[in-house]
Copies of this chain bind each other. A is one copy, B any other.
Amino acid sequence: MRIFKKPLFMVNPKTYLYGDNVVKLAQLTEKVANKYGLDCLFTSQPIDIPALKQATSDLIITAQHMDTVKPGKLGVVLPEALNSYGVDAVILNHSEDPLTVSQLDDGVKKARALGMLSIACADSFEQCRAIAQMHPDIMICEPADLVGSGSTSDENYVKQALKAVHTVNPEITVIAAAGVDDAGDVIKMLTWGAEGTGGASGIVKATDWEEKLEEMMSAMAKFK
């Protein structure tokens, strides 16, 4: 299982990028993360994973989805195949890719069995507590209606979500990232107690990726 230290930065290019472009963003991310001594999740479509693993060595390469299927099914990616390419972590139950209760439970267990970190997303405080009972390694807590909105979670949400998760299991690392896209947002999230944050469209759509990563990671570095 990949070891990581907090605070944790996350770059989530979703499907905005692929091929050479996503490799370029990953390399810039690794460069800036290393400059600031930060551990960093970098999420990927399955087809880009081999290139990302080859082009980087420190990033926590994270599959954006994992199917909990057995060999033989068609149209999916086998968890063992993710693992064979060196995937370090998997995102489960993102609001754009929701899982059933049973799939999420199976997914956390399967990731653990294969030595991959499980990162489970939760929305309401009830969901935060419920999913914490499944003991993923990391949770991303954010109100689903803020994803991609450009508005961050507020202080009350972040503090309550952290408390909800940690009351059930204090070992889970909690990321708060909804709408985060500049240094000010990073500082807010970490000040309110989040153990990680990062960006998706806020980074991908920046005109200068390295500058944006510098801005956000330098802000995070003060919380090491």
- B-binding residues in A (CB < 8 A): 12, 14-16, 18-20, 43, 45-51, 64-65, 69, 71-78, 80-82, 84-85, 91, 93-105, 108-109, 122-124, 126-127, 129-135, 144, 148, 168, 201
Q: Is the CB of B102 within 8 A of A144?
A: yes
18 CB contacts below 8 A, A to B, read A15-B78, A18-B81, A19-B84, A19-B85, A43-B74, A45-B46, A46-B46, A47-B47, A48-B81, A50-B51, A64-B74, A98-B103, A101-B101, A101-B104, A102-B123, A105-B124, A105-B127, A130-B130
Query: How far apart are A46's CB and chain B's nearest CB, in angstroms?
Result: 4
Select A101's contact among B45, B73, B131, B135, beta carbons within 8 Å. Answer: B131
Q: Which of B20, B132, B148 contacts A72 (CB 8 A)?
A: B148
Copies assembled: 4
